[in-house]
């Protein structure tokens, strides 16, 4: 299962993080500094001011802003694309992304070598190449 990978927000969504103004924190929000630009993360965490959906999109907090009521439809479109994608590749890219947020590309590459080879020589890897050569949609199995 892929959690937290893509974010679709309604155009009337407002993001707010008021803990500094309320006098408490769990501290977990601090990881936002590696997911969105540092200055934006600090603004979001420290000032507690509203951030509109459009601003959230501009700074990379959300992937897409859609008219209110279309969020599930658009998210479902993303899910359809993922359902047709190679599960091992999607899973591997997601894991690498989360595991390497604080690593250099060289460190990530060294750590990732075994996983990349597992995907490359998987049944899905062979099926993807065969389907491409045969000009047909692949039938991925997640193996």
Looking at residues 68-96, what average pLDDT do you find? 93
27 backbone φψ class: left, alpha, beta (φ>0; ψ -120 to 50): left
Q: For residue 14, name the pLDDT band (cuts at 50, 70, 90).
A: very high
Question: Cα(1)–Cα(16) distance, rounded to whole angstroms?
Answer: 27
Q: Is residue 2 part of a domain?
A: no
How many folded domains does the chain comprise? 2
Q: Are residues 44 and 100 in the same domain?
A: no
Q: Is residue 138 part of a domain?
A: no
Contact 11, 53 (CB under 8 A): yes
Give pLDDT tens digits for 99-133. Answer: 777 665 666 666 677 777 888 899 998 999 999 99
Return the H-helix or E-strand segment holding 64: strand 64-66
Q: Is residue 53 part of a domain?
A: yes
Residue 60: both structure tokens together: 């990379």
- CA 91-97-98 angle, to 5 degrees, is 95
Q: Are residues 21 and 76 in the same domain?
A: yes
């Amino acid at each position: 299962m892929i959690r937290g990978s893509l974010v679709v927000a309604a155009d009337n969504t407002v993001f707010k993080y008021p803990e500094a103004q309320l006098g408490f924190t769990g501290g977990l929000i601090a990881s936002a500094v590696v997911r969105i630009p540092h200055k934006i993360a600090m603004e979001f965490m420290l000032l507690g001011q509203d951030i509109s959906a459009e601003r959230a999109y501009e700074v990379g907090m959300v992937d897409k802003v859609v008219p209110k009521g279309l969020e599930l439809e658009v998210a479902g479109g993303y899910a359809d694309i993922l359902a047709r994608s190679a599960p091992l590749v999607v899973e591997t890219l997601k894991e690498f992304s989360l595991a390497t947020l604080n690593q250099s590309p060289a460190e990530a590459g060294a750590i990732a070598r075994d996983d990349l080879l597992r995907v490359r020589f998987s049944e899905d890897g062979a099926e993807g190449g065969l389907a491409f050569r045969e000009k047909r949609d692949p039938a991925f199995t997640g193996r």
